[in-house]
Amino acid sequence: MHHSMGKTVLSIRGRDFYINGTPVYAEIGGAGGAGTAGSSPSGHPSPLGLLMNSRFIQGVFDDKADPRRFDRFGRTFDPETNTDNLIAALPEWYKYGLRAITVGFQGGWPVFTTDVRTIDNNPFGTDGRQLDEAYAARMDRIIRAADSLGMVVIVNFLYWAQAHRLKDGRAVVAAIETASSFIKNGGYTNVIIDLANEYNIEYWNERYLIKSHESMQVLMDLVRRHTGGSIPVGCTGGGGIFNKLIAEASDVVLIHGNGLTRGRYYDLIRRILDTIPDKPVLCNEDSPCISRLEIAARTHTSWGHYDNFTKQEPPANFGINPGQDTFFARRMAKTVGIQLPELPLEEQFYLEGLEPDNVWQGQRWIRLSAEYPERIDHVNFYRNGELIYTSYDEPFLLFGQTTWIQKPWLVRPDDKEWLAEVVLSDADRTIIEKRVEVSGIA
C-alpha cells in the first residue's frame, strides 16, 4: 500500500461535504448558488455539499463456504471480476451525479435468495487480527478507482452475520483495529468509515460491544486513534433509528431509511436536524424509493439508493440497468443540477424482473419501476390477462412486504405475458401499460 495523498480529498464543514476544498457538486453548472444558503429554482436549498450515494455493499464479496452457489443469473461468480465490474461502472454513475458508494468488508445479505449465516465472507479471521490479502487488494482497488474519479467510498467494517465469526469481544475490537490500520496505511483521503451496519438490530444481541450505545462511542474513538483521526467515522442503526449518543460521537450522522413512508422519512430527518444541527446527515441505505431524493433536496441531507436485487445478490450487476437504476440516476442528476432531456411519458415506466437471466430456482422478483413514482396512484399486475395483485405504494413491488423486500413469483410453465397497468394520480387517471412476453420455463 502506498502512502500517497489522494486526488480526492474529502473534508466536512458544518453540514456540508467538500472535495478538494470545494463543496461537492460545485463543478456542475447551475447547481443553485453557494453553500447551503443558495437556493435552486425549485425553492429548495442548494444541493452543493451533499453526497448522493448508492449501496454497493458486495464490492469485495467472496464466500469461502460455497462460492459456486453464486454462479447464476447467466454469469459465473468470481470475486475479482465482481470488483472489476463495480469499478467499470463508476464513471457512468459519476456522470449522473453519484459521488459515493458504500462497500463492506463483510458484505451484506442477499435477502431474496440466501441464508446469510451460511456465507463465509469474513476477511478478519476468527481472532480479528488478519486481513485477507485478496480482500485488502480489492478494497484498495475500489478506493483508488473512486479517488481517481472524484468519488468517496463509505467503508463498512462490520456486518452482523460475519461478525459472529469473530470468536469474542476481543476479536471484534481486533477486527476494528485491523480495518482501521488498513485505512491508515492506504493513505486514503476519500473514505468515510461506517463502523457497524445497523448496530442496534436484534441480530447483534450476542455482540454487546456493538449493541451498546456507550461502547459504540468508545469504539468510534478507537477507530480515530488507529486511523490518525482525519477519516470521518459514523455508524448506522436500523431503518428509521436515530440515537443521539451515537450521532454525537459521529463525524457524519449515518442513517438508514428502510421501511419508512416519505412522510416518516421526512420526520426522521427533521428530528435529527433539530437534535444535531451542525453535522452532515447521510442516508446510505433506504430502498428503491427514489422519491426520497425530493426530501433529501428539501432538507439538505444526502440520500443513498438501495437496490437489493441487482446490487446485493452476487454476482452483483453494478451498472446502470434499465428501469430502477436508470430512473434513480436521472432523478439524482436532476436533484444535483445536471440537465437531462425529459423522457417521453411511455419511457418513464419499466416492468422489471422479467429479464431472461433474472430467475433463481424458478423464482422471479417483479416490480414496476418509475422515474416519478409519486405520480402513480396504483399499479395492477396481470399475468396472462388475469389480475394477480395491486400495489398502492412505492416502490410498486409485486407482493411487496416492506419498501425493500418482496415475495417472489413462482415461475409456471404457462406464464406467457405480464402486464403492469399503471394508473396515474392525475385528474384523468391516465393509464400507461407495460407488457412483457415471457416463456414460463425457468
pLDDT tens string 260-304: 999 999 999 999 999 999 999 999 999 999 999 999 999 999 999
Do you find a cis peptide bond into 395, omega within 30 degrees of 0? yes
32: β partners: none
Question: pLDDT class for 441, splitting at 50, 70, 90?
Answer: low
Predicted confidence at residue 37, as pLDDT, reads 43
Stretch 34-57: mean pLDDT: 77
Three-class DSSP category at 15: coil
Between residues 186 and 43, which one has the greater pLDDT?
Answer: 186
Question: pLDDT class for 2, splitting at 50, 70, 90?
Answer: very low
CATH of 345-437, one of 1.10.3470, 2.60.40, 1.20.1070, 3.30.70: 2.60.40
Three-class DSSP category at 404: coil
Predicted confidence at residue 44, as pLDDT, reads 77
SS3 per-residue string spanning 379-400: EEEEECCEEEEEECCCCCECCE
25 φ/ψ angles, rounded to the nearest 5 degrees:
80, 0
Calpha distance 79→136 (Å, rounded) = 12
DSSP output for 146-170: HHHHT-EEEEEEE-HHHHTTS-SHH
Q: What does pLDDT average to over the chain?
A: 95
Calpha distance 84→86 (Å, rounded) = 5
Calpha distance 263→191 (Å, rounded) = 31
**pLDDT tens digit string along 410-424?**
999 999 999 999 999
Calpha distance 315→399 (Å, rounded) = 24
Give the predicted TM-score (pTM) of the model. Answer: 0.96
* 406 pLDDT more than 50: yes
DSSP output for 267-312: HHHHHHHHH-TTS-EEEEE--S-TTHHHHHHHHT-B-EE--TTTTT
Three-class DSSP category at 259: coil
Stretch 227-253: mean pLDDT: 97
**pLDDT tens digit string along 197-216?**
999 999 999 999 999 999 99
DSSP output for 339-382: --PPPPGGGGEEEES-STT--BTTEE--EEEESSGGGEEEEEEE
Q: pLDDT exceeding 90 applies to what percent of the chain? A: 93
**Termini Cα distance of the chain:** 46
Going from N- to C-terminal start, the domains of the chain cover 10-336, 345-437
Calpha distance 359→400 (Å, rounded) = 18
35: β partners: none
Predicted confidence at residue 34, as pLDDT, reads 40
Amino acid at 82: N
254: β partners: 282
CATH architecture of 10-336: Alpha-Beta Barrel (3.20)
Stretch 160-183: mean pLDDT: 97
**pLDDT tens digit string along 69-121?**
999 999 999 999 999 999 999 999 999 999 999 999 999 999 999 999 999 99
321 φ/ψ angles, rounded to the nearest 5 degrees:
-80, 160
* 6 pLDDT more than 80: yes
Run of H or E including 256: strand 253-256
* 129 pLDDT more than 90: yes
For residue 232, give Cα distances in angstroms to 183, 213, 227.
11, 18, 10
* 389 pLDDT more than 80: yes
Predicted confidence at residue 63, as pLDDT, reads 98
Predicted confidence at residue 439, as pLDDT, reads 82
Q: What angle do CA 57, 220, 177 make, to 5 degrees?
A: 75
Other beta carbons less than 10 A from residue 54's beta carbon? 25
* 175 pLDDT more than 50: yes
Which residues are within 8 A (CB) of 185 and not within 5 positions of it... i.e. 6 or more apart?
Answer: 1, 3
Cell of 68: 459456486
* 31 pLDDT more than 50: no
